[in-house]
Structure 1
Amino acid sequence: MSSSSDKAMNNPKNNISKLKSITGSVGLLVTLMIYTAIGGLVFRQLELPIEIVRLSRIRTILLTQRNHFINQILNNTDLNISTFADKMQLELRSYEIAMQEATQGGFLINSVDESDLLNNQDIANLPPVAIDRWSIIQAVFFASTVLTTIGYGNVVPSSIWGRVFCIFFAFIGIPLTLTVIAHWGKLFAEIVSEIANKISENLPSFITQFYPHNTTGQRSLGALAAIGLLFIYISCGATMFMLWEEDWNFFDGFYFCFVTMTTIGFGDLVPKKPKYMLFCTLYILVGLALTGTIIELVRRQYAQSWRRLQALRGPIAEVLRKISEHAGGDISIMQSDLRNLLTVIAMPKLKRKDGKNTDVEEKEWQEAVEAVLRNITTSVPDKNYQKPIMQIVIYESSV
């Protein structure tokens, strides 16, 4: 087995094919990154001016309400305490509503400079508002969430042209993203398969006796290993986000990574450090490719089991009926037949060396299964078989 793998490794055509596959995957990834960067810059160009105007208006309203509240306190001439308290309650309520609207609009209170707060009368000449939402890195990160269909919802286009561009950008970019994820997922699957083959060839003898040698067991083991690899990848990301985000723990990072890798994207947890956004984008793209590969492996396992059960549904039902008629519900008689029946269900389909099935091999597999089922039905005992009788004796005492 090792010699065949060595020949495959030393085959020039095989190496050239692998090199072309890797080069094509890298080219697609670079194309997607350039497309994402261009889209982020266009989003920034369309949304940033409107965002500046909107946040400046929110800041003006907030500072106006704040100054009005302070002036009402300083210029109060009413000596009636109860009247003054009721008046301050109304003024404070207006200021709280302004703060709530500012928070919902994405305006951060700490973005207001202290000099702006002290200079209460000069609201018209305030410096430009600080913009974090549509910075270059945030815009590129938003473009990546559009292409991956994650859509956290914390940043959205608000202008008409921004929304129109988002439709066309997603219409072209989502198929490109799915193609990149599919190529990288296939590449990851090949790499993981080669690593698994090399590990299985070099396993010690005391471990190989527990290693499944049938196709079904190997596929199940491969699916479990792939799921374990995904959890390791998510755990690594959770550890990094725990170190980057001050208010995140490991579970928060793990939850965010899982919701992101499965493209659920609730948006309740989103990274806030802009300098890590580009790395986060790359981490998400690689993770989506890995997740797609693992989901495909698990889906194939379920699909194969379902097809096998569908193919054996009729014969198995007939065999169970005959066993029940002849054995009369005797578990001791049915035990070996049921064991053989489970063996039939677990029988792997015959495959060629290249892994492709043909109609002839499919027919051979069905004939082999039917032969085993016929053997089960012919081995059942005769109808004249005396069923075991359980005798129950009840003693009635004089008490």
Structure 2
Amino acid sequence: MVEMKISFDVIKYFRIIIKICMFSIAGYGNITPQTVPGKVFVMTFSAIGIPLTAIIITSIGKRLSSFVTCLLMRKRCQERITRHRRDIQKGDKIDTFIETEAYENTVVKEYDGSIIPLIISTAILIVYILIGSIIYSFLTHVSYMDAIYMVFLSISTIGVGASLPSDSAYYIGSVIYILTGLTLLSMCVYAALQYNNVKPPTEPSERKENNANVEQ
């Protein structure tokens, strides 16, 4: 009996933490604590957790956007280098290296502010929402349009009011899905900033590199 009670309490409190995470991140405003200590805990939890979550999501989204751009650049570089090497005479390795490096720099400049990474990032986010909506519609037995509506509002952090999962497993899956969706949304935002040539604040390591280049 003791083991069953402990197990029940663990599941109960785990569900409470998951609920706090959900309405703190995605804005499920219908769940509110009834006691003063509960309200203080939620405000403290949100004040600390939301900024940390935003920092992590932004950092991951930035790296995902850079990864997509890097893949495109690498593919374009390989195509150009392969085509260029066909026109270069054999035996002149120095000229080949110089020309290859010049082509790589040209491709980097082309993708600096290109709309292609933004289009790909947005397409990934849209596909992610559509797939999530299919799963949500299947599990909750709602129409597909309603599922898209709920998923979009959740990822955009607007909140969906009283529409909450009824099972503990759904809570966990929803939190993971929303956090992943926010990361993809951050990736799209960063790609949009690159397209508009608006550079986000640089990280400390990037500042050191920039200062070193200026000194040289």
Q: TM-score range by the shorter chain?
A: 0.5 to 0.7
Deviation at 1:298, TM superposition (A): 1.3
Residue among 49, 58, 78 paired with 1:182: 58
1:302 equivalent in structure 2: 196
RMSD: 3.1
Q: Deviations over 1:54-99 (max 9, x none)?
A: xxxxxxxxxxxxxxxxxxxxxxxxxxxxxxxxxxxxxxxxxxxxxx
1:195 equivalent in structure 2: 71
Deviation at 1:154, TM superposition (A): 2.8
Residue among 272, 284, 288 paired with 2:166: 272
CA–CA separation in structure 2 for the residues paired with 1:223 and 1:243:
30
Deviation at 1:299, TM superposition (A): 3.3
- The residue identity in structure 1 corresponding to 2:41 is F
1:281 equivalent in structure 2: 175
2:121 equivalent in structure 1: 226
Structure 2 stretches lacking a partner, 5+ long: 1-8, 81-106, 199-208
CA–CA separation in structure 2 for the residues paired with 1:245 and 1:288:
22
Deviation at 1:199, TM superposition (A): 4.1
Deviation at 1:153, TM superposition (A): 1.7
- The residue identity in structure 2 corresponding to 1:296 is Y
Deviation at 1:200, TM superposition (A): 3.6
Distance 1:199 1:143, change over 3 A: farther
- Normalized per residue, which structure has more helix? 2
Secondary structure, in 3 states, of the residue corresponding to 2:165? coil
Deviation at 1:300, TM superposition (A): 3.6
Deviation at 1:216, TM superposition (A): 6.8
Secondary structure, in 3 states, of the residue corresponding to 1:227? helix
Deviation at 1:234, TM superposition (A): 0.9
- The residue identity in structure 1 corresponding to 2:196 is Y
- The residue identity in structure 1 corresponding to 2:188 is I
Query: 8 Å contact 1:137–1:278 — kept in the other structure?
Result: no
Task: Give TM-score scaled by structure 2 length.
Answer: 0.65
Structure 1 stretches lacking a partner, 5+ long: 1-44, 46-133, 205-212, 305-353, 360-399
1:245 equivalent in structure 2: 140
Secondary structure, in 3 states, of the residue corresponding to 1:219? coil
Deviation at 1:203, TM superposition (A): 6.5
Residues 1:256 and 2:132 aligned together: no
Secondary structure, in 3 states, of the residue corresponding to 1:284? helix
What percentage of aligned pairs have identical amino acids? 23
Residues 1:142 and 2:19 aligned together: yes
CA–CA separation in structure 2 for the residues paired with 1:177 and 1:271:
22
Distance 1:191 1:163, change over 3 A: same
CA–CA separation in structure 2 for the residues paired with 1:253 and 1:355:
46
Give the alignment of 1:80-229 within 5 angstroms.
Answer: 135-148=12-25, 150-201=26-77, 215=110, 219-229=114-124
Greater relative contact order: 1 or 2 (C-alpha under 8 angstroms, separation 6 or more)? 2
CA–CA separation in structure 2 for the residues paired with 1:271 and 1:200:
45
Task: Give TM-score scaled by structure 1 length.
Answer: 0.37
Q: Deviations over 1:265-304 (max 9, x none)?
A: 1425333333221111111111111111211221342355
- The residue identity in structure 1 corresponding to 2:151 is C
Query: 8 Å contact 2:61–2:190 — kept in the other structure?
Result: no
Distance 1:302 1:191, change over 3 A: closer
Distance 1:300 1:192, change over 3 A: closer
CA–CA separation in structure 2 for the residues paired with 1:272 and 1:190:
38
1:290 equivalent in structure 2: 184
Moved over 4 A (4+): 201-204
- The residue identity in structure 2 corresponding to 1:222 is P
Query: 8 Å contact 1:256–1:270 — kept in the other structure?
Result: no
- The residue identity in structure 1 corresponding to 2:120 is A
Query: 8 Å contact 2:73–2:111 — kept in the other structure?
Result: no
Query: What is the aligned length?
Result: 167
Deviation at 1:175, TM superposition (A): 1.7
CA–CA separation in structure 2 for the residues paired with 1:199 and 1:140:
44
